[in-house]
Amino acid sequence: MTRRKKIYEGKAKILYEGPEPGTLIQYFKDDASAFNDQKKAVLEGKGVINNRISEYVMTKLNIIGIHNHLIKRMNLREQLIREVEMIPLKVVCRNIAAGSLATRFGLPEGQVLPRSILEFHYKDDKLNSPVVTEEHITAFNWATTQEIDDMMAMTLRINDFLSGLFSAVNITLVDFKIEYGRVFENDFARIILADEISPDSCRLWDSTTNEKLDKDRFRRDMGSVIESYTEVARRLGIMQEMPTVIQGGKV
């Protein structure tokens, strides 16, 4: 067996060289981290569930015209993806006050926001991914004004679509983080959605009880992290394809 070339290793994923130029393989690890790596654990089965949930969501988004890097899921832990030039920004969209927004503005967690709020964070863990404005983004050449407009419009569409998708299975989309990359076609650059969308990168609450079904369970030591991720997959109707070890909740 030939060893694949590792291109990048992040906290929850590894990127390997893909089978053809312009492709990569995205591998989902079981590692979980929070608070800038100060808290770490291995949550057995997390990578498998996130790979499947992210594939499901990205495929649905593609159908409604939100182009993204997913080509296909290859196996339990890997996806074949398009290679993109990552934009060094985390785009956060919030519908309900929670997490760092609640802390920064002294808002009670759970307060419905007057409208959805978009934030750009500069992607640098050493700097704690600070919030940045369009001024910073254009001055430092991280993205053009046109690209900022595209990311904002796409993120709001993703928010509308995902809010509906989760609401249909009694889950409230509180907030989420996404990342974008550039692809080059005939000398033109275009922005597409990249990275992942999973309970690691979204806040998802049971709409009836407000029970957390996302990574806050890990951040706040609430327990039952995998069980909650599994519950999200179950409600989305994609649990039957999971290996039996995860289906039985024994991971």
Minimum distance, C-beta of residue 127 to ligand TMP, in the bound complex (Å): 11
Q: Does 176 bind ligand TMP (CB under 6 A)?
A: yes
Among 14, 101, 191, 226, binds ligand TMP (CB under 6 A): 101
Residue 172 DSSP SS3: strand
Q: Does 217 bind ligand TMP (CB under 6 A)?
A: no
DSSP 189-208: EEEEEES--STTTEEEEETT
Of 69, 77, 90, 212, which lies in the binding site for ligand TMP, with binding defined by CB under 6 A? 90
Residues 110-149, one symbol each (x = binds ligand TMP by CB under 6 A, - = not), give -----------x-------x--------------------
* Separation CA 1–CA 98 (nearest Å): 47
Query: Closest approach of Cβ 202 to ligand TMP, in Å?
Result: 5
Which range binds ligand TMP by CB under 6 A, 143-151, 171-179, 224-232, 242-250?
Answer: 171-179
Helix, strand, or coil here: 222? coil
Task: Give the list of residues 6+ apart from residue 223 with CB closer than 8 angstroms, or none.
Answer: 217
Q: What is the DSSP secondary-structure string of 159-177?
A: HHHHHHHHHTTTEEEEEEE
Inter-residue contact 144 to 138 (CB < 8 Å): yes
Footprint of ligand TMP (CB under 6 A): 90, 92, 98-101, 121, 129, 175-177, 201-203
